[in-house]
C-alpha cells in the first residue's frame, strides 16, 4: 500500500503534533487535543512569546514560482539570480521555510520571532531540479539555489513544494524515480498539478478525475507515496470543488492552492479554508498584473512595514500565541492550544 506523501520528511515527534488539525500525526493520540469550549479562558502567553510579539494568527506568504532560468523568456519566468536574491532577502528578514503539507496541517515548527514562508514551484520544469553526474543538484536549478541560500544563512531551512506535471523536470521514468526519491529524502514535498496542466473550470467530473488521478497514479508508481496537496493549474476551480479534493482510491488531498494574489491567512484562523489557499506570484514591483501591489516584492515589503499583520512564531509548536485583539479569530479546534497576551 502506498504511504501518504512526505511522511518520511514531515513526521515530527508526538510532542510537536499539538497543532495538527486535519489528521493525527504519526504517533499522536486523540487525547493529545485538549477539550475546551469557547467560554474556557485562554491562558497567558509565555514571556518569551510576548518578548518577540508572537502572532500566530498573522498572514503567511505562500510564494508561487514557475520556470527558473538563467535568462527569463516569459513573463512568469524568474532567473536563478532573482530566485537567489529573493530567498536571501527572506533569510535576512527572518523567514523560515515550511512545506505546503506542513502548512495546511498546522505543523508549523518555527523558531521564536521568525516567520514561516512556503515556497511552491509549479509545472516541474527542468530549471526546478536535476542531478549532476555526482548525484548533486544541478547548478542554477531551484533546488541548488535553495540549498546555497541555506548554507549561506544558517537557520534557513532548505525545503519547498514542487507541483508536478507529466514532464517531471524533463526526466524519463527511471531518472524521475531517482530524482523524486532524492527530493523526498532531502525534505522536499511533492504535490499534484495534473497531467497536462489544463484549466479544470470547464471540465467534466470524469475529466477532472482523469487529469488529477492519472498524475497521482504516476507519482505513486514512481515513489510509492501519495501526494498531500494540490495546486490548481491557472488557479482555475472546477464546477464542483469536491471533484478535485478527492476521488476514492486514487487521491485525497489535505489542502488545495490557488494562483494569486495575496498571502494566506493562518491555518489557525477560523476563516482559513484549506480548499482555497491563496498564493503570491514571485515578481518585482512591475506594472504587469498589478505586481506593483500584488506580487512578492510588494507583499513582502508590506508585511515588513506592517509586522503586526505577519505570522510571527512563539517558538513552541505545542501552542498558538496571539495578541488579545485577535482572540475572536482563533479557530475553535485550536482554542485548546491558544495562549494570549
User: pLDDT tens across 224-267, in order?
Assistant: 999 999 999 999 999 999 999 999 989 999 999 999 889 999 99
Q: Residue range 175-196: average pLDDT?
A: 98
Instruction: Report the DSSP pairing between strands 246-247 and 251-252.
Output: antiparallel
pLDDT of residue 75: 87
pLDDT at 340 over 70: yes
Nearest to 158 by CA among 126, 174, 182, 191: 182
User: Over the stretch 261-272, which tens digit does the pLDDT of each residue have?
Assistant: 899 999 999 999
Q: Give the H/E segment covering residue 95.
A: strand 95-98
DSSP string covering 187-217: T-EEEE--SS---GGG--HHHHHHHHHHHHH
Which of 124, 279, 278 has the alpha carbon at shortest distance from 195? 124
**How far apart are alpha carbons 299 and 57 in whole angstroms?**
17
Confidence at 35, pLDDT banded by 50, 70, 90: low
Residue 334 has pLDDT above 70, yes or no: yes
Q: Is residue 325 very low, low, confident or very high in pLDDT (cuts 50, 70, 90)?
A: very high
Task: State the chain's mean pLDDT as an integer.
Answer: 91
pLDDT of residue 39: 72
- Mean pLDDT for the stretch of residues 160-176: 97
pTM for this structure? Answer: 0.91
Model confidence over 79-108: pLDDT tens digits? Answer: 999 999 999 999 999 999 999 999 999 999
- Under the banding of pLDDT at 50, 70 and 90, the label for residue 7 is very low
Q: Are 123 and 67 in contact (CB under 8 A)?
A: yes
- For the stretch 291-325, what's the b/e string if a residue is b when 16 or more beta carbons lie within 10 angstroms of its beta carbon? beebbbbbbbebbeeeeeebbbbbbbbebbbbbee
Amino acid at each position: 500500500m502506498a504511504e501518504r506523501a512526505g511522511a518520511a520528511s514531515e513526521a515530527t515527534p508526538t510532542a510537536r503534533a499539538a497543532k495538527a488539525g486535519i489528521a493525527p500525526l504519526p504517533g499522536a493520540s486523540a487525547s493529545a487535543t485538549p477539550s475546551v469550549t469557547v467560554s474556557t479562558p485562554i491562558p497567558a502567553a509565555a514571556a518569551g512569546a510576548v518578548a518577540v510579539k508572537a502572532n500566530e494568527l498573522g498572514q503567511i506568504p505562500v510564494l508561487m514560482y514557475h520556470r527558473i532560468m538563467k535568462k527569463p523568456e516569459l513573463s512568469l519566468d524568474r532567473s536563478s539570480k532573482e530566485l537567489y536574491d529573493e530567498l536571501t532577502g527572506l533569510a535576512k528578514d527572518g523567514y523560515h521555510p515550511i512545506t505546503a503539507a506542513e502548512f495546511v496541517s498546522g505543523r508549523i515548527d518555527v523558531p521564536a520571532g521568525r516567520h514561516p514562508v512556503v515556497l511552491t514551484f509549479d509545472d516541474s520544469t527542468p530549471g526546478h531540479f536535476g542531478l549532476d553526474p555526482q548525484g548533486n543538484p544541478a547548478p542554477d536549478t531551484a533546488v541548488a539555489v535553495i540549498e546555497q541560500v541555506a548554507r549561506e544563512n544558517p537557520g534557513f531551512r532548505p525545503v519547498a513544494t514542487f507541483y508536478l506535471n507529466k514532464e517531471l523536470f524533463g526526466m524519463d521514468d527511471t531518472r524521475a524515480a531517482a530524482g523524486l526519491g532524492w527530493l523526498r529524502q532531502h525534505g522536499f514535498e511533492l504535490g499534484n498539478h495534473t497531467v497536462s496542466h489544463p484549466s479544470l473550470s470547464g471540465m467534466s467530473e470524469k475529466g477532472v478525475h482523469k487529469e488529477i488521478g492519472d498524475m497521482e497514479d504516476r507519482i505513486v508508481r514512481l515513489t510509492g507515496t501519495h501526494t498531500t496537496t494540490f495546486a490548481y493549474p491557472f488557479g482555475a476551480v472546477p464546477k464542483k470543488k469536491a471533484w478535485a479534493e478527492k476521488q476514492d482510491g486514487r487521491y485525497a488531498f489535505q489542502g488545495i492552492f490557488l494562483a494569486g494574489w495575496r498571502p494566506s491567512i493562518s491555518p489557525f484562523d477560523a476563516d482559513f479554508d484549506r480548499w482555497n489557499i491563496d498564493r503570491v506570484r514571485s515578481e518585482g514591483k512591475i506594472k504587469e498584473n498589478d505586481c506593483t501591489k500584488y506580487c512578492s516584492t510588494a507583499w513582502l515589503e508590506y508585511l515588513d512595514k506592517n509586522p503586526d499583520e505577519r505570522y510571527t512564531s512563539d517558538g513552541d509548536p505545542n501552542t498558538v500565541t496571539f495578541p488579545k485583539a485577535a482572540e475572536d479569530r482563533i479557530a475553535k479546534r485550536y482554542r485548546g492550544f491558544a495562549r494570549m497576551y
